[in-house]
C-alpha cells in the first residue's frame, strides 16, 4: 500500500486525524518559515479541535509563549549549557558529596579535553 493511500485510509477511519495532521503541518511551517506571529492563530485553531493531548500542548505553549516564539526565530538553544550542567552533576554524583570545587574543576577540564 502506498503511503498516501495508507494515510488517506487512516484519515477515513479516524475522524480528527486529517484536521490534526493539518495542524501539525501548520505548526511545522511556523518554525520552518520563522513566523512566530502566526502562533496565536494556530493556538486558537488547535484549541477548537478539543483533543485532550493537543489542548495540553496549547496550554504549555501559552504558558511559555516567549520561549516558543524565540525557538521559532533563533537557531541558538541552551542545549550546550544543559549538557555541561549534566556533565558536572554526573561528576559530582561520582564524588558522593566528597568532591570539592577544585576537584570538580579539574574533572570538568579533563572531560572537556576529550
pLDDT of residue 114: 59
pLDDT interval class at 33 (50, 70, 90): very high
The total number of residues shown for the chain amounts to 114
pLDDT of residue 35: 92
- Distance between CA atoms of residues 109 and 69, nearest Å: 35
- Give 79-107 pLDDT, tens digit per residue: 777 888 888 787 777 776 676 778 778 87
DSSP 69-102: HHHHH-S--SHHHHHHHHHHHHHHHHTTT---HH
Whether this model's pTM surpasses 0.85: no
Amino acid at each position: 500500500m502506498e503511503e498516501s493511500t495508507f494515510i488517506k485510509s487512516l484519515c477515513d477511519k479516524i475522524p480528527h486525524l486529517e484536521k490534526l495532521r493539518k495542524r501539525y503541518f501548520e505548526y511545522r511551517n511556523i518554525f520552518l518559515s520563522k513566523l512566530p506571529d502566526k502562533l496565536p492563530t494556530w493556538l486558537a485553531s488547535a484549541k477548537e479541535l478539543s483533543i485532550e493531548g493537543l489542548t495540553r500542548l496549547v496550554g504549555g505553549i501559552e504558558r511559555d509563549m516567549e520561549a516558543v516564539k524565540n525557538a521559532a526565530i533563533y537557531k541558538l538553544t541552551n542545549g550546550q549549557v544543559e549538557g555541561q550542567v549534566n556533565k558536572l552533576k554526573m561528576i559530582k554524583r561520582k564524588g558522593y558529596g566528597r568532591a570539592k570545587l577544585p576537584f570538580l574543576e579539574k574533572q570538568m577540564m579533563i572531560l572537556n579535553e576529550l
